[in-house]
């Protein structure tokens, strides 16, 4: 949920993510800890926000443990009452939610700007697609990207996975 002055601006469901770990070359923390990536080595639950190619921002959630670079890139979010692809991809997502580096190092569980909640939505493994990550040149064979198969808000589907028909229930978060 994106907030501004205590008021809800947008609410959505995360429908696509990618994982990264310092043990693989595509991770920003692979080589070492720097001023630019130090948040990624921080406590789990922090937001790690960086600018990609000087063009758009990427929103990540730090995972695992302190002093170990690992995180999850939030690739796409379905936002209720918006065009279904309004936040489909890291750049569109951060633009729509007005996220920039001011969000870097915020605690996801203790801030007044952006919160992630467990919505208790039942999703089984057959409803998730696990595949390789997008837009990287190293560790390309790791299947560390997941997306919700029935979502029309996914940034890129695997070959042969067709865009699902519009489900009116989904428009209102009733998965």
pLDDT tens per residue, range 46-104: 999 999 988 999 999 999 999 999 999 999 999 988 999 999 999 999 999 999 999 99
Residue 110 has pLDDT above 80, yes or no: yes
Residue 14 has pLDDT above 60, yes or no: yes
Which of 55-59, 80-84, 107-111, 117-121 shows the lowest mean pLDDT across its residues?
117-121
Query: What pTM, to 2 d.p., does this model score?
Result: 0.91
Task: Tell me the Cα Rg of the chain.
Answer: 16
Q: Which domain, by its residues, includes 141?
A: 2-172
pLDDT for 83 equals 92
Q: Yes or no: say if 114 and 124 are a contact pair by the CB < 8 Å rule.
A: no
Structure-model confidence comparison of residues 154 and 174, the more confident one: 154
Q: What CATH number is associated with residue 72?
A: 3.10.300.10
Q: Yes or no: say if 44 and 63 are a contact pair by the CB < 8 Å rule.
A: yes
Q: Say how many C-beta atoms besides its own lie within 10 A of residue 70's C-beta.
A: 21
Number of domains forming the structure of the chain? 1
For the chain, report the end-to-end CA distance as a whole number of angstroms.
18
pLDDT band at 7; cut points 50, 70, 90: confident
Handedness of CA 164, 52, 135, 44 (dihedral sign): negative
pLDDT for 175 equals 43
Q: Which tokens is 32 given?
A: 């070492």
pLDDT digits (tens, 9 = 90+) for 124-170: 899 999 999 999 999 999 999 999 999 999 999 999 999 888 766 55
| φ/ψ (deg, to 5) at 125 | -60, -30
Residue 174 has pLDDT above 50, yes or no: no
Q: Yes or no: say if 109 and 45 are a contact pair by the CB < 8 Å rule.
A: yes
């Amino acid at each position: 949920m994106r907030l501004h002055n205590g008021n809800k601006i947008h609410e959505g469901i995360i429908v696509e993510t990618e994982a990264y770990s310092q043990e693989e070359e595509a991770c920003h923390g692979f080589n070492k800890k720097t001023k630019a990536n130090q948040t990624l080595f921080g406590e789990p639950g922090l937001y790690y926000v960086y600018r990609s190619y000087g063009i758009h921002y990427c929103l990540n959630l730090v995972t695992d443990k302190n002093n170990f670079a690992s995180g999850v890139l939030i690739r796409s979010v379905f936002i209720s009452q918006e065009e279904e692809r309004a936040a489909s991809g890291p750049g569109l997502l951060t633009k729509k939610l007005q996220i920039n580096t001011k969000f870097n190092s915020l605690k996801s569980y203790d801030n007044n700007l952006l919160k992630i909640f467990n919505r208790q939505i039942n999703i089984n493994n057959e409803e998730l697609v696990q595949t390789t990550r997008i837009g990287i040149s190293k560790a390309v064979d790791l299947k560390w990207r997941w997306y919700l198969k029935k979502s029309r808000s996914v940034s890129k589907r695997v070959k042969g996975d067709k865009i699902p028909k519009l489900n009116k229930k989904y428009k209102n978060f009733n998965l």
